[in-house]
Amino acid sequence: MAGKRTFFGTDGIRGTANMAPMTVDIAQTLGQAAGLYFCRQSETGRQHRHTIIVGKDTRLSGYMIECALVSGFLSAGVDVVLLGPLPTPAVAFLTRSLRADLGVMISASHNPFTDNGIKLFGPDGFKLSDAVEAEIEALMAEDLSGQLASPAAIGRASRLNDAAGRYIESVKSSFPRGLRLDGLKIVLDCAHGSAYRVAPVALWELGAEVITLGASPDGLNINDGVGSTHPEALCAAVREHKADCGIALDGDADRVLIVNERGEIVDGDQILALIATLWQRLGCLKGTEIVATVMSNMGLEAYLATQGLSLYRTAVGDRYVVERMRQTGGNLGGEQSGHMVLSDYATTGDGLLAALQVLAALVETGKKASELCQLFTPYPQRLQNVPYQEVNPMTHPDLKEIVQWAEEQLAGKGRLLLRASGTEPLIRVMVEAQDKALVDMVVERVSAYIRTLTTA
């Protein structure tokens, strides 16, 4: 049985480039372990030529991590196909399309350029389960030298030159046949990330007038004041150019935020509500359950209820959203942060794909984005981070007292969410309710109580 995961977190392996776990040595060992894990014989018994595809975003450290991973894969006897800079969902799509054994995306998503990460996709295009990641980690701890390929069986590396074109055509195929974006002026912020070439082309080929921001990566500027985590420049550009809307992607383009014609931000919850409403009307929504995470606003839940739909909440992370969707057969889920999973078209969050659904609704209805993308009023929500030093307050036996008190205050009116950060020594205290004064009171009281636990 596989042990506990040490390197893998909620979305692959991530850390500061050139520091553990994002070092050349660890990346090479991961390549060897993952390569050996996915090597297998075909059902007919004939020798199967194992292939792994590798994509990346625009970070400077991507070259280093890519070379280390590839050397590990090749030494395990696996062929490697290099894709170059492409969105994470493109790697997931091409893993299935090319019948590869494994897909790898080198990216730290919305983090600054100093970080990098490694995400793995199985042959089905879905992110690996926790159990499989644990098995790979167990292999990494072994001496693999005796299992590596003989000199004649070392893998070969090649490059797929039309990878971008294949992804663009795949994304465009999700756009309703017969519709075009002619007459729409769109400001597109690519975060100086992996979609800087494919996203503008896809929108232009569908007929839109595209004004691009964040489309000049230099290895150091990914997510720097641009993209879905920094939409201020996009909001200003939409107003300046009198655009119909703005689209903000993140560094690896698996999440999206929309900006309406007034320069106002539309988050993932509103996008979920819009697509759910659109698909329900068109008869293409599977089931009545929309999947989101514990961070999604209660206003979304209340709105969906008026449409005869329910909201199911998972842990934070689009992989958990996908897991629930696969269990129930649903085809729509996402996160407030902008990960949108449209499983009829993709196996993971795809920012460009979700944006096209919003644009299709704009074209079909003729409505302005400010009218179309504001289907509910969010409940007041407040998130406060409480730092700690040694002992995680989430494990303290007295924590249940303040949780019980908060739940009594919020009963039938709101909710409390406590969770530990996966990357920093912080407890995240989130409270939402229809009454903002109640939200502030509960947040302050709970945060103060947690601080006493950290100093006890």
Q: Check: CB of residue 265 under 8 Å from CB of residue 189.
A: no
**Consecutive H or E run containing 312:** strand 310-314
The secondary structure of 147-210 as a DSSP string is GSPPGGG---EEE-TTHHHHHHHHHHTTSPTT---TT-EEEEE-TTSTTTTHHHHHHHHTT-EE
- Chain CA centroid to CA 154, Å: 33
Per-position b or e across 129-160, b if 16+ CB within 10 A of its CB: ebebbbbbbbbbeeebeeebbeeeeebeeeeb
404: Cβ contacts below 8 Å, ≥ 6 apart: none
Q: How far is CA 97 from CA 90, 123, 174, 250, in A?
A: 10, 9, 16, 24
- SS3 assignment, position 295: coil
Closest C-alpha among 290, 275, 304 to residue 364: 275
- Chain CA centroid to CA 17, Å: 20
At which residue do the structure tokens 């655009």 appear?
243
Q: Does residue 61 have an active-site annotation?
A: no
> For residues 260 and 372, what is the distance between their CA atoms, to the nearest angstrom?
9
Task: Choose the catalytic residue: 61, 71, 75, 109.
Answer: 109
Q: Check: CB of residue 273 under 8 Å from CB of residue 300.
A: yes
Identify residue 58 by its one-letter amino acid code. Answer: T
Active-site residues, by number, are 109
